[in-house]
A and B are shown apart, each in its own frame.
Chain A
Amino acid sequence: MIRLALLVFLFGYNLILATGQELSDTTLLESVEVVASPLRTSPIGTRSEEWNISKSQNNSTNIAELLKGESSAFIKTYGSGSLATSSIRGGSAGHTAILWNGFSIQSPMLGLHDLGLFPSGFYDKVSLQYGGGSATWGNGAIGAVLSLSNKASFIDQLVLSTQSTLGSFGNFHQQVQFNIGNSKIQSGTRLFYQEGQNDFSYRINEDLPEKKQTNSALLNKGILQELYYQPNDKNTFAAYFWKQHANRQIPPLTTQTKNIAYQKDDFTRLALHWKRRTNKLLLQSRAGFFDDYIDYVDNQILLRSLTHFQSIIGEVEAQWSLDNHQFNLGVNNTFTKAFADAYASPPTENRIAAFGSYRFDWLSWKTQLSIRQEWIGSKASPLVPSLGIEKKLTNFLILQAKVSRNFRLPTFNDRYWQPGGNINLQAESGWSQEMGFTLKHKKEKFKASYSTTAFNRSINNWILWSKQEGQSFWSANNIAKVWSRGIEQRINMSTKWKRWEFNFSSGYDFILSSNQISITTPRIEAGEQLNYVPIHQAFINGTLGWKKWYASYQHSFTGQVETSNEPLDAYHVASFRIQKQWTSKHFQPSFFVAINNLWNANYRVIDRRPMPDRNFQIGINFLIHK
């Protein structure tokens, strides 16, 4: 009954809006990004969501959990800290570009990055730009761009913050951040440690005895060191060193007696940034070196797969202003070498990209034209332009629209894996269009907004591994054409009254993403919804605060998804959290208690992978400063 009431609530709010209630707020972001030109980080016509990770209030362990709880990104995961990938706007995991301080960090071998590896305390800001962003970010920015960024505050500070969380199933998570600096130099050190057994109990059905998950332990630890130097108002230098190690067991499927496989992830990332800012000109130069290993071992079937890549990235860009005109130009060079037993010899790739943007603001209109061209060796990728428009119709209504062409290059595995790699693959590419509006209202301490965005996208040359006529093995081919379209709606509200605070956000996504061409192996009918792309997704999050006590409720609904076997049922999952903060001059402690899977739903996100039943977390955060 509760679920039914919630369902009505989730889908019913549109009716309230239709009656003409005036709601408002802005989901548009002001440009405060330091890691790249604002023309790239906040492009016109793009719907964005962002999260500032507070040192004292951060409770999510990793970015997969953050997105799962706070956005409508569909996260494929099977428990805390597990391997996790995303599907946004009907794309595959490789269709979300992932940036760290402006660098693309997806594996060039897999074309994606495991979101379970990103400790959420390692970043100051996380943002999600929905829709195609290839014209500014290039390869893979088809469904969305997930941007993880660090930034410095050049203030006199000495801050130590810690977050410690104990959870069910042997989960322990510790994060420490230490910042010291003044108006010239800043240092930030972040340490992260996570371990867990994840030996939760689950039931296949009520007639069968409870089973305990096995081979599901994880260890994940890392360090991120930031150094910033600002010799004067115009110049800023930054250096980053990020090293992480994870060792995760791979639990058996429900249709598997046991599994003893595990995967080790190890990576080292180094980056150097230089930024020069004058009144009219912003110059940025950065270099990065990434060294990344994935070691998958299954001793049961005598399989070991060790893959490794190294990338060196250099990028220079400039943004300048002339009255109400803004320009951005830049070049990027990325060199990658990859190693895997299944490659005949370690392949290398050098990619050069040139990109530019022009933004023109006139009265209540904002327009931005962007374009990017990449060359992979001597081969040109598709030329990708985008045009975004924003019109402020009234003080409470903003319209926005965007047309863009986007692409994804075949991965190293698509090209070089033996057997089946195909060096003649074309890039996946296609056009997407989106438009939407935002209603916003602000009156004293009451803020509200409502937005709707509709999108349409067609991607040609979609790469699938398939069995071709006369072939005895699977190979990568440009055989699919995928049409994705949908509507996304968001409501945000916040208000304060005396010592009470109330925040509410809600969203509903309706997404169709279908392959337009019939394929025999794998068997896909024309017009059939892609696997693991829910047609319906919705969430509501509410927080009630009183005298720094906060009670939060998160509820999400995921519709039925197709898999390569049977479809997975729709499910509701909720969590409840109580948090208390204290504030004093030098010391800000807080604690929280959380109940995850509050209604003890028996659900699956991935076929044949059970999810934890109701479970608990308790955490203490400290923030001590000078």
Chain B
Amino acid sequence: MQLKFTLILSFVSFGLFAQTTTNFEEFDLNANEHINESFDVEGFYSGNTFLPNNYSAMFDSYTGWSISTHSDTMTPGFTNQYSSITGSGYESNTFAVASAYSPIKVGLQNESVGEVVEGMYITNSTYAFLSMRDGDSFAKKFGGETGNDPDFFLLTIQKYLNGTLGDEVVEFYLADYRFDDNSQDYIVDDWTFINTSSLGQADSLLFSLTSSDVGDYGMNTPATFCVDNIVTFGEATSTKTPSIAASYSIFPNPTSEFLNINYEDSEKAILQLFDSSGKIVLQQSIAKGTSSFDIRHLTSGAYALRLKNVKGVSSELMVIE
């Protein structure tokens, strides 16, 4: 398996200004992978944006944003919470998934700070889409028992500028069942470009979800949606996550019993080993020095090893014999 770093940076000519499109491809994910742990920096930098992420290692759960290539459009439920209903990103593999039971932000970076955000592509997650279409043990099927309930799932985007929440609002119905004619009811199932330029200049954008399906426990509809290709003002000064390949060496490779890593950076790092299906089979935090891991329980084959610290990330192929 060859891991590739791809950096796709689009410079779109729009009037006189250069723009950056954040499409998350630089996270270098294989198919059906996700990152829900941003590791130390509490978020993901990508293009001109910063997507906050608060990960709980104890419970393997997160709030805010995760980065994903999951493409399962069939499986309902939270076990498939990282897939988009389109089965991919917008004209690409990678996209961001929001977990927004309370409002979440996207921060602006570099030249885009204090400028207009042109817009972004948005669609439903498979989890939310199938929950609204078919109902689940917690949330209702939109339309309700009779099919006539005027249900909706609304994404509201606002902006902060200089610490103040603006009055401007952009609304996007991820599902709308409020039509008198039920045949017009819809749930969004493709990437839709949402123009946010009417919000004006911004330091960050705020995303809030509301649904007609609310109970004592708050909103019942899964509070997730997917975002891709955020078009921001100005060139990104650094869009590629730096490689930290020089800071470590692994040996032996191929191996059959133990994986040793000699890591020379003083920043602690996280080591992950993925099998060919993209599943994490080993995840350990390592510190400076030589660490050794018993991998005798793993079946023979090709694995991808990824090492990540606050300075960057690096990956390589591992063969277990």
Contacts and interface: CB of A to CB of B under 8 A. Distances in A.
Interface of A: 204-205, 207-208, 252-259, 261, 298, 300-303, 418-419, 467, 472-473, 521-524, 531, 564-565, 608
Contacts of A467: 218
A257 B77 contact: no
B80 A255 contact: no
Interface in B38-84: 54, 56, 58-59, 61-63, 75-80
Nearest to A519: B216
B141 interface: yes
B59 A301 contact: no
Contacts of A531: 216
Given A255-B144, A524-B216, A564-B215, A472 B79 contact: no
A87 B86 CA distance: 45
Contacts of A207: 146
**Interface SS of B by simple majority:** loop
A473 B140 contact: no
A205 B218 contact: no
B101 to A, nearest CB: 8
Contact of B135 (A205, A253, A473, A521): A253
Size category, B interface: 20 to 34
B145 A204 contact: yes
Contacts of B80: 301-302
A473 B56 CA distance: 10
B133 interface: yes
Given A303-B77, A524-B216, A564-B216, A418 B133 contact: no
A300 B146 contact: no
Nearest to A250: B137
A257 B141 contact: yes
B217 interface: yes
Contacts of B54: 472
Given A208-B146, A298-B77, A255 B140 contact: yes
B171 interface: no
A604 B85 CA distance: 34
B136 interface: yes
A307 B215 CA distance: 28
Given A302-B80, A472-B56, A419 B61 contact: yes
A256 B135 contact: yes
A523 B216 CA distance: 5
B134 interface: yes
B218 A521 contact: yes
A418 B218 CA distance: 21
A203 to B, nearest CB: 10
B79 A303 contact: yes
Contacts of A302: 75, 77, 79-80
Contacts of A255: 135, 139-141, 144-145
B301 to A, nearest CB: 24
A257 B133 contact: yes
A564 B217 contact: yes
B134 A256 contact: yes
B9 to A, nearest CB: 32
A204 B144 CA distance: 10
A254 B145 contact: yes
A257 B216 contact: no
Given A302-B77, A473-B56, A205 B134 contact: no
A472 B139 CA distance: 19
Interface in B115-159: 133-137, 139-141, 144-146
Contacts of A473: 56, 59, 61
Nearest to A520: B218
Nearest to B60: A419
Interface string B260-302: 0000000000000000000000000000000000000000000
